[in-house]
Amino acid sequence: MCGRYTFVTPAPAIEDHFEAAFREALAPSYNAAPSQRLPVITDAAPDVIQALQWGLIPSWTRDPKAGPKPINARAETLAEKPSFRQLVQRRRCLVPADSFYEWQATPTGKVPHRILRPDEAPFAFAGLWDEWTDHTTGEVRPTFTIITTAANRMMAPLHERMPVILPTRAAERAWLAAGDTGLLVPLPDAWLRAYAVRTLVNSPANNGPEVVVAA
């Protein structure tokens, strides 16, 4: 799964890479967590980076407080899940990031690791988004989920799953434009590196540079 990630690349570099502009100033996050408003680029506005809440609330949900808010969607079963199958066709998104975290199970407990590109450059997770409308107040709440796939050989010792990362601008554009599910595959093994970090990352309240310091 993917339950935490970072978004700390300076805004000008993000805008240049994704050829999109921030709708509002968004603070960097060393510990992006579910329920937070985080940067997303949707297929409906591919030239805008906007804040959506992490944890999908489908548009057809009657009571968002009662239903699940999935933070991940398995690539292999998107067509089987009512929450996801229509969104692949009509509501796709990119989730800008520069690393993510995973917890490795060991005999002495779970050890968090930070996973990133060797050059620490930004990238995008493939995602889905939707809008839920409160018909009593008119409030529109946009939310998103990150698609996951099987781990590659680099990730496998840490966890059996990993987020779908789109490795090129062409792949990012293709996902937004057509929802090509052939893109929802593990990255090549050499594309990422990992190192252990301290358990500070376990709490979303910890959200400073100290979170990414090697253990």
Instruction: Kindly name the residue from 2, 15, 24, 93 that is annotated as catalytic.
Output: 2
For β-strands 140-150 and 161-163, DSSP reports them as antiparallel
For β-strands 99-106 and 45-54, DSSP reports them as unpaired
Residue 172 designated active-site: no
CA–CA separation, 16 vs 66, rounded Å?
40
Instruction: Kindly name the residue from 15, 24, 102, 131 that is annotated as catalytic.
Output: 102
CA–CA separation, 104 vs 41, rounded Å?
30
- CA pseudo-torsion sign 162, 190, 97, 209: positive
Residue 102 designated active-site: yes
Place of tokens 């506005």: 45
Run of H or E including 193? strand 193-196
Active-site annotation, residues: 2, 102
